[in-house]
Structure 1
Amino acid sequence: MRSGPLQNSLDDELNRHQFVMHHPQTKRKCTGIRAWLVISTLGQSHLEEVDKHSIMRRTGLPARDLRVLDPQLSYPSSILGREKAIVINLEHIKAIVTASEVLVLNSTDPSVAPFVHDLQHRVSNSNDTSQQATESSDTEMEVMERPFSITLTTNTEIRNSNPRNTVDVPAVKILPFEFKALEVCLESACKCLESETSTLELEAYPALDELTSKISTLNLERVRQIKSRLVAMSGRVQKVRDELEHLLDDDNDMAEMYLTDKLVRKPLEQISELNRAFDEDGERDEDGKTEDSYEDLSYIKPNVEELEMLLEAYFAQIDGTLQKLSTVCNLTPSNHVQF
């Protein structure tokens, strides 16, 4: 049989098909399938191999947001609040958080595994705490010690059997699921950066002391290498700090991240729409109420105080890490110093 261009093309296509069939990883890349660890609100997890379009339908995210999480692409640290999900790209953590689940990429990576374990543990514990807060009438409750607790406390007045006596105790307010997950992401990223910074400090100060006591080409080169790592580390920390500062400066961005609240408000907004339509048909209240009273309901935005407190806690932590790096960098000589 003669071999022509058409035959060669068919042979090439067949060879590519056979290669892909015998290499599942290549098949996943060709079809955009990735392994996602799915963690539910109960802390239960399972692995799913899902393609990009299924993730987009599931989370309501556009393709450009998913590219932020692509491990093969280098995107700066970012936290994006969307209609139905929060996209989190912080250091080793690449995740999508919804009101009912967290989807994590690279869950088997050694640097990601501790984060996954902590997330499952925290979510499970918070569910137990929530149940205890509902069923128990005790006035004392243990609050876990964290940079920012999974609970927020406000003073409330609880009366005992004697109505004349009152006791001010902290009332436990459980954060919504998406903020519990966000907190674990922030804590893991900040802890990682803080740990690496501490390691660099332990190397930098002895090296500087050695250079001060004995100026030599060898000691100077050692300090230069450490400074290069300090500068690179400062850039990573700065990106996380800038992202938190950006969110704290924009109430609308923070409000967009209240996924659970938006789910609760959606039926109310639908009712408001029906009421406005009813009024537009001429059915008005005798007191002269207009659709403005219903419009107010549609434009109610969640109080961002809880999220603001959470972000400010980690902003302070990451800013402290950046200050440490800045201090060490200022002590090291510039790279253009020569003997």
Structure 2
Amino acid sequence: MGDQIELNRRYIPRLPSQTQTQSKRKGAGARTWLVVSKLGQVSVEELGKQTVMRRTGITAHDLRVVEPELSYPAAVLRRERAVVVNLEHVKAIVTAEEVLVPNPRDPRIASFVYDLEFKLSADFSATMTREKAMEQLPTDTPPEASGSRREAKMRYSKPLPFEFRALEICLQSVCKSLESETSTLEEEAYPTLDQLSAKTSTNNLKRVRVIKGRLVSLTGRVQKVRNEFEHILDDDMDMAQMYLTDKLATLQHEGVSEDEMDDDADVILLGTDINENMSSKCSTLFASDLKPNVEELEMLVGSYFVEIEGILNKLSTEYVHDTEDYINIVLDDKQNQLLRMGLVISTASFMITVAIVAIGFLSINIRIPLFDFGTYTQWYEAFGGCVVCSVFLYIMAVLVFKFLGLLG
């Protein structure tokens, strides 16, 4: 354990004292970073861009991906010496030695920062306890005791590498946040949909429209995270590149010196591709494995892939679509009622117009008693006959419409 820690410490390039002093100043390009080391040590440091690039081996473009001020699509970038995580509110750079989180005082990531500090420190303590227990197990055991020793070894099995434990915290924080938003949306959506089903009003429609917008937005975000998980699981070689601790141990075994690591860091600062020295050796070592053993990482990402699938299924519930279909049916029925009412009113107007035309036509051929001092009997008879004919024709028209199915 002590030798491994010493080798891992050599993995971080040592900066000159002048560079370290400048990185602590709040100058151009300096930012506050939370640094959680493999040994469980937590610190908040002011680091410049070049310092972060040297320590993690990433490029300037990768560094911009985790800047809180910029908006980049969800991505988990696999690099030679680091994994860059940009998922929802979680932005972190994970190496084999430490985790760097920008702007740790942001209230939106307070829960993620707490989990990172607490769980990584607890994991380190548990690892030390496990290794002490393994050292205390007897080496020479009789055949009858081999079974109990095997059980003890299984109980104190090898833990996940540091980068996987940090990655698991990142994925867990993302899934927890999306699950919380989904539950909150469900609590608001179901009562509103029930109210809309009971009474289709303008206010209820406005509330459902707002909830539907939130639902579409949250579904899109969950879908992006799901696609990134699926992209990781689809390529075994990409997953093999994320075994940073194994790559570090292999490079140390192959004789890659600290000076060569520093040279790679200088190449990164100059903005050139990482295709020489350590990068070429890493590519050569991992290209020889046609079928890399990525079972640990596959199980880790697969479990959270299933969880994100469950969240996506919640957002795609049939209850919302059923309510939409029901509301559309209600609105169509209201529209049909309006059309039927319009048809009845139009028919009545037509009949009244016919009666008015008939009365006007007959009035010019009937003698008006006002001029011959007679009675109004003739005019009343003509007027009554026109009204009765109009009502009769209107009733006949309504019966014909019902017979044809136009009025239901």
Q: What TM-score, normalized by structure 1, do the two folds share?
A: 0.72
1:48 and 1:332 map into 2 onto residues whose CA distance is 52
Q: What residue in structure 2 maps to residue 163 of structure 1? A: 144
Q: What residue in structure 2 maps to residue 133 of structure 1? A: 130
Q: What residue in structure 2 maps to residue 330 of structure 1? A: 321
Q: What residue in structure 2 maps to residue 241 of structure 1? A: 226
Aligned 8 A contact 1:33 1:51 in 2: yes
1:45 and 1:259 map into 2 onto residues whose CA distance is 21
Q: What residue in structure 2 maps to residue 186 of structure 1? A: 171
2:304 and 2:286 map into 1 onto residues whose CA distance is 32
Question: Higher Cα Rg: structure 1 or 2?
Answer: 2
Letter in 1 for 2:147: T
| CA offset digits 1:175-213 (Å, max 9, x no partner) | 111111000000001000000000000001111111111
| CA offset digits 1:29-65 (Å, max 9, x no partner) | x822211111111222212112212211221111111
Q: What residue in structure 1 maps to residue 243 of structure 2? A: 258
List aligned pairs for 1:50-65, cutoff 5 A: 50-65=47-62
The offset of 1:268, in angstroms, is 3.5
The offset of 1:161, in angstroms, is 6.5
Q: What is the aligned counterpart of 1:299 among 288, 309, 314?
A: 288
Q: Secondary structure at the match of 2:58?
A: coil
Q: What residue in structure 1 maps to residue 304 of structure 2? A: 314
| CA offset digits 1:141-173 (Å, max 9, x no partner) | xxxxxxxxxxxxxxxxx9987717735744422
List aligned pairs for 1:262-281, cutoff 5 A: 262-270=247-255
Q: What residue in structure 2 maps to residue 46 of structure 1? A: 43
CA RMSD after TM alignment: 2.8
Letter in 2 for 1:166: G
Q: What residue in structure 2 maps to residue 67 of structure 1? A: 64
Letter in 1 for 2:144: P
Aligned 8 A contact 2:236 2:292 in 1: no
2:302 and 2:312 map into 1 onto residues whose CA distance is 15
Aligned 8 A contact 2:197 2:323 in 1: no
Q: Secondary structure at the match of 2:36?
A: strand
The offset of 1:132, in angstroms, is 2.1
Letter in 2 for 1:53: Q
Letter in 2 for 1:173: K
Aligned 8 A contact 1:258 1:302 in 2: no
Q: What residue in structure 2 maps to residue 220 of structure 1? A: 205
Q: What residue in structure 2 maps to residue 120 of structure 1? A: 117
Letter in 1 for 2:82: A
Aligned 8 A contact 1:183 1:310 in 2: yes
Q: What is the aligned counterpart of 2:186 among 197, 201, 204?
A: 201
Letter in 1 for 2:296: E
Letter in 1 for 2:199: K
Letter in 1 for 2:35: V
Q: Does 1:32 align with 2:23?
A: no
Aligned 8 A contact 1:231 1:329 in 2: no
2:126 and 2:108 map into 1 onto residues whose CA distance is 28
Q: 1:210 to 1:298 in 2, by over 3 A?
A: closer
Q: Does 1:92 align with 2:118?
A: no
2:140 and 2:201 map into 1 onto residues whose CA distance is 73
Q: 1:268 to 1:159 in 2, by over 3 A?
A: closer
Q: 1:159 to 1:332 in 2, by over 3 A?
A: farther
1:85 and 1:47 map into 2 onto residues whose CA distance is 20
The offset of 1:245, in angstroms, is 0.3
Q: 1:51 to 1:221 in 2, by over 3 A?
A: same
The offset of 1:332, in angstroms, is 4.9
Unaligned runs of 5+ in 1: 1-26, 139-157, 272-294
2:43 and 2:250 map into 1 onto residues whose CA distance is 30
Aligned 8 A contact 2:31 2:103 in 1: no
Aligned 8 A contact 1:99 1:259 in 2: yes
Q: What residue in structure 2 maps to residue 174 of structure 1? A: 159
1:218 and 1:115 map into 2 onto residues whose CA distance is 38
Letter in 2 for 1:163: E
Q: 1:200 to 1:265 in 2, by over 3 A?
A: same
Letter in 2 for 1:204: A
The offset of 1:243, in angstroms, is 0.3
1:186 and 1:177 map into 2 onto residues whose CA distance is 14
Aligned 8 A contact 1:230 1:329 in 2: no
The offset of 1:333, in angstroms, is 2.6
Q: What residue in structure 2 maps to residue 103 of structure 1? A: 100
